[in-house]
Amino acid sequence: MYYTVAPFHLRLDALAQAKVAGGLLASGLIGALAGGIVPEIAKAVTGRVKRFDAAWAEKTAFTALLYGLLGVTVDLLYREQTHLFGSQADLRTLTCKTCLDMFGYTPFISIPFACCMLAFYESRYRFTRFRAALADSFFMKRVLPSLVLCWAFWIPVLYCVYAFPLPIQFIIAMLAEAAWVVIFVFMNTSEPVVAVE
């Protein structure tokens, strides 16, 4: 659609230009919106949020912060991969970018970081409880299940994302992020694993 429908192309280009103008701050804000705010809107619209109280606001702010930080790292990753592999949309380039993302960035940076941040939040910011959570088969209980879900969704999605020009990649990825987090929230009521790229 991007290459064949002019209005769609123009809107995505305008969003990408605004994001580029806003720099990493825009990346963080877009990440916070996609991963932290959109799911809360979806939950509110469907009646899954029972009370808009201080606890809800704190969790929403924390989740938005987490996804905002991840949005910045994703933007930096996409830029660096363009330097490493180029901007072509051939199968080799798409595969190199997807592999580095899914088997480098994701298992060693995004998923462990997000799981640790959520464990810290769940420990109510107490280091003693946080350390105990990390010692209790943390990788097997939190990181590995999150990683498997992430791979199932993001590997095919990233082949599509990386086929777009660099300025558009982040926008498309954040649209997919919002969809992924909303799907994840509605599939999993207890939310024990992390829905991040």
Supply the Cα-derived Rg of the chain in whole angstroms.
17
Given this model, what pLDDT does residue 12 score? 86
Given this model, what pLDDT does residue 94 score? 98
Given this model, what pLDDT does residue 194 score? 58
Please name which of 183, 176, 193, 147 lies closest in space to residue 74, comparing C-alpha atoms: 176
Which pLDDT tens digits describe the chain residue by residue (197 residues)? 677 777 878 888 899 999 999 999 999 999 999 999 999 998 888 888 888 999 999 999 999 999 999 999 999 999 999 999 999 999 999 999 999 999 999 999 999 999 999 999 999 989 899 888 888 788 888 899 989 989 999 999 999 999 999 989 999 999 999 998 888 777 655 544 456 66
Q: In this structure, what token pair is assigned to residue 164? A: 């777009």
pTM of the predicted structure, to 2 decimals? 0.87
134 burial level (CB within 10 Å; 0-12, 13-18, 19+): middle
Handedness of CA 76, 160, 147, 50 (dihedral sign): positive
Domain ranges of the chain: 19-187
**Cα-to-chain-centroid distance, residue 12:** 19
157 burial level (CB within 10 Å; 0-12, 13-18, 19+): middle
Given this model, what pLDDT does residue 61 score? 95
Given this model, what pLDDT does residue 152 score? 93
